[in-house]
Structure formats: structure tokens, C-alpha cells
Amino acid sequence: MANNLLKGKRGIIFGALNDKSIAWKVAELAHAEGAKFVLTNAPIAMRMGQIQELADKTNSEIIPADATSDEDISNLIDQSMEILGGKIDFVLHSIGMSPNVRKGKHYTDLNYKFYSQSLDISATSLHKILSISMKKDAISEWGSVLALTYIAAQRIFPDYNDMADAKSLLESISRSFGYHYGIKNKVRINTISQSPTPTTAGEGIKGFDEFVSFSDKMSPLGNASAEACADYCVTMFSDYTKYVTMQNLFHDGGFSSTGVTQEVIDKFTEE
Ligand SMILES: NC(=O)c1ccc[n+]([C@@H]2O[C@H](COP(=O)([O-])OP(=O)(O)OC[C@H]3O[C@@H](n4cnc5c(N)ncnc54)[C@H](O)[C@@H]3O)[C@@H](O)[C@H]2O)c1
């Protein structure tokens, strides 16, 4: 059902680890919609993941880059423009990791070295990508940058832990940089706030399976899948959304506007 929405566009896609990753689905669809792109992930993910399979499928090259390293990002941007033959039209930031979550540290008793790593990997990395791109004038006019986020940036979801702080920072960076990059070069920057989705990062959160069912029952349309998220990302990379910038866009089946649903009430009235 491809519509050539991204025909002729060049992109960089961060964060495809395996075929459950949201970035993986975005890469498959962007390819079907006519885009050319470079895939990138942390060097360690090259060993753990199946990214080569995705590269083969989408005729794309892989450039390893740790998103916390200025040097890696700079090299990634230079090489991407060379491989793709020009400036970048779209960037997907699909990166998240919290050592505190991994090591089971409670939010009230964080390890602060881990905390700064959570923020650095999951949020500051977006600032670095944008800042280095701006200095190199690497993103085309009307280019579109998207980062994936979660509603725990606005409301408490206890087991989301310090990732909630990282997502708040990520959304703020997207808004602030969206202002500066919009004025300088008409580059638009948005976050997409996605439903809980069964991926490696998602499943790392405590009680994730129960939480997915709760969220599904609290969303009039049900949870949005990774494939549906890819549909939305491709639309946001296309020329049909040119004046959308500095927004946090909920892609969650209505969860964010719902106080309660009959299905959830029924759960509490079951005998
Ligand atoms: N899965 C969910 O429930 C859900 C919901 C809302 C938002 N998100 C967000 O979507 C994004 C993608 O996550 P996903 O669910 O597809 O899981 P995923 O585990 O497939 O992707 C996370 C990616 O981050 C990469 N990464 C970690 N450290 C890195 C570093 N230093 N440099 C470069 N890359 C690094 C990993 O290698 C991996 O590819 C994340 O930002 C996540 O927080 C996920």
C-alpha cells in the first residue's frame, strides 16, 4: 500500500535493534515509501541485534555510533551525507536506556552516575544530534526530526522510574531546538508519545505485561502498535505535515485524553 510519500528523501534512523524495535518498523516502511537512509545504533547493539538483516532488506548501510559521543555523531552525519549524496531530510531518534531501571534501583534511591547516563543516552543525545547537524548545515529546509517519547513525561507511572525525567528533558529539547532550528532553516522537530509497545526497551520496565493490558483498556482505540507508529512517523517525515513543529504528538489510541473507561470500571465491579 505504499504511496511514495518519501520518494527522494534521505534519512538517518537511530535505534533499530531487532524486528520488534519501533525504528525497525519505521525503516521498513520508509523504504517502501521510497526513502534512502542510513541505519545507526550503538556499537554494542551491532553484536546483540539483527540490524544487518534490516540493512540487507532496505538496501541501506549501517554506521555504528554511540549517541552520547560527539565524535561518533559527527562522523555519522558526514558519512551519511556522503553515502546518501546530499543533505538529510529526516531523522528518527528512537533511543532509550536507563541503567537504574536495568539494575532495579528505586526512583527514590537512584544511582546518580546511572541517572546522568539515562539522561545522556535518552535525551541529551537528541540535543547533540541537532547541534552537530546545525553546525554542519546537514539538514535540508523543511527537514523533519522525530524522537519517541512516553506520557510518563507528564504524569507519574511509578515503574517508569528515571526514564520519566529523561523523557521530560527530551520533549523540552525538541521544543526548544524546534524554535531555533525552525527560524534558522525551517527544520521541524517533534516528539511522538507512543503507547506501551512490546520491544526490548519496553519489556525492561517492571510489570510491563500487566501495564500493556491496563493501557489497552484505558484507550478507546486500544494501544497503538509499532507498525501504526511507523505509519505516523512516515507521515511526519513527509511533506504533508510541513507546518507541524515543536509538538508532543500523542499516538496512543486516546489514552492521554481518557480519565476512565467502562471496561476498567467493570474490572472493579467484578464479583
Ligand atoms: N516500547 C515502548 O513501550 C515505548 C513506548 C513509548 C516510547 N518508546 C520509546 O521508543 C524508543 C525506541 O524504543 P523501542 O521500544 O523500539 O525499544 P528498542 O530496545 O528496540 O530500542 C531502543 C534502542 O536504543 C538503542 N540505544 C541504547 N543506548 C544507545 C546509545 N548509547 N547510542 C545509540 N543507541 C542506543 C538500543 O540499541 C536500541 O536499539 C525509545 O526512545 C523508547 O523509550 C517506547
CA nearest ligand 1 atom 11, residue: 94
Catalytic residue among 107, 112, 150, 240: 150
112 among known catalytic residues = no
3-state secondary structure of 191: strand
Beta bridge pairs of residue 133:
none
- Ligand 1: residues with CB < 6 A are 14-15, 17, 21-23, 41-42, 45, 66-68, 94-97, 121, 148-150, 194, 196-197, 199-202
pTM passes above 0.95 = yes
- Please say whether the beta carbons of 127 and 181 come within 8 A: no
What pLDDT digit, counting tens, does each position of 136-195 carry? 999 999 999 999 999 999 999 999 999 999 999 999 999 999 999 999 999 999 999 999
| Angle at the Cα of 29 from the Cα atoms of 164 and 58, rounded to 5 degrees | 110
4: phi then psi, degrees, rounded to nearest 5: 60, 30
Query: Is the CATH code 3.40.50.720 the one for domain 10-269?
Result: yes
The answer to whether residue 261 scores a pLDDT higher than 70 is: yes
Q: Report whether 225 belongs to an annotated binding site.
A: no
For 257, phi and psi rounded to 5 degrees?
-110, 10
181 is catalytic: no
Give pLDDT, residue 2. 87
The answer to whether 22 is annotated as binding is yes
pLDDT at 271 over 90: no
First to last CA, the chain: 47
pLDDT one-digit tens code per residue, 185-230: 999 999 999 999 999 888 888 888 888 999 999 999 999 999 999 9
Dump pLDDT digits (tens) for 9-43. Answer: 999 999 999 999 999 999 999 999 999 999 999 99
| Mean pLDDT, rounded, of the chain | 96
Ligand 1, pocket-test mutation among 12, 13, 17, 155, most atoms within 8 A of CB: 17
C-alpha to C-alpha distance for 193 and 181, rounded to whole angstroms = 21
Cross-strand bridge partners of residue 36: 10
Q: For residue 5, give the amino acid letter.
A: L
Q: Is the pLDDT of residue 3 over 80?
A: yes
What is the tens place of the pLDDT at every residue in 81-134?
A: 999 999 999 999 999 999 999 999 999 999 999 999 999 999 999 999 999 999
| Mean pLDDT of all residues in 56-65 | 97
* Selected catalytic residue, list 160, 181, 240, 243: 160
Q: Are the C-beta atoms of 38 and 61 separated by less than 8 Å?
A: yes
pLDDT at 223: 98
